[in-house]
Structure 1
């Protein structure tokens, strides 16, 4: 199920895994390439688990329309409320080492439906993106199905190994 508004898009899926397990997968940057439904996320540069708001984790990325093809995102954790919510603000490091953020966010909200099921809602929000960025990037920069694809990938990663 997708919900698209003028400023965000979200998808919800029931995952056959406890919320703590789903959260652990999301808090592990090394799993993000496997979760991603676009193929843009390549590999975690910072491999430490996400443990606090304000933490920065970098990801190697690839996009055919990016001027360099390969690039790197520096994400700042905005929400970290185990096992209920996790989210981050993607940005890029400028030449002087300063981080700049585009204003869009990724957020996962987890609602336990019992000991072995979790309802997961993934939201991509671009309400804080300034106009000058909107002039050259169309939002959302992917189809809404990307969020459902990501949630299905997450479900496979979080599932008990006997069901994988």
Structure 2
């Protein structure tokens, strides 16, 4: 696969991800996109070749830094080789920007080794992270992961009320 084809697949998989996710969420998703690249592991291992170790080091340097489409292509395309798989999901979206997590394999392979049976735009595989409380058919806020503090607060309140009820209950002796 050449660089132009990889760019096309990134753009098209991003478009499909946004369209698919939009059907499941209550908020609007901005089409102004940046990417957060996360390898399956940040640690070097013996099964990686020298070039893969170099690419892993480059990806590790981008940790937590949103990347433009061109920066993403530069990090994930290597002379005809791409990560064996790349899982794409929207991290969060606001009026002016959407951040997409790209979790990728540390192994770089040619196009013949990519999974064409499952994915429309290999190596990209799109998905949506559902909140733990999600009920089938209900829409949710795509930014639910960013509200962890709020979730912890509600959890603590619930635990406090539950313990208080248990203390107030009299045993049936």
Q: TM-score, normalised by structure 1?
A: 0.31
Q: Which has the larger share of strand?
A: 1
Structure holding more helix per residue: 2
- Structure with greater Cα Rg: 2
Q: What TM-score, normalized to structure 2?
A: 0.30
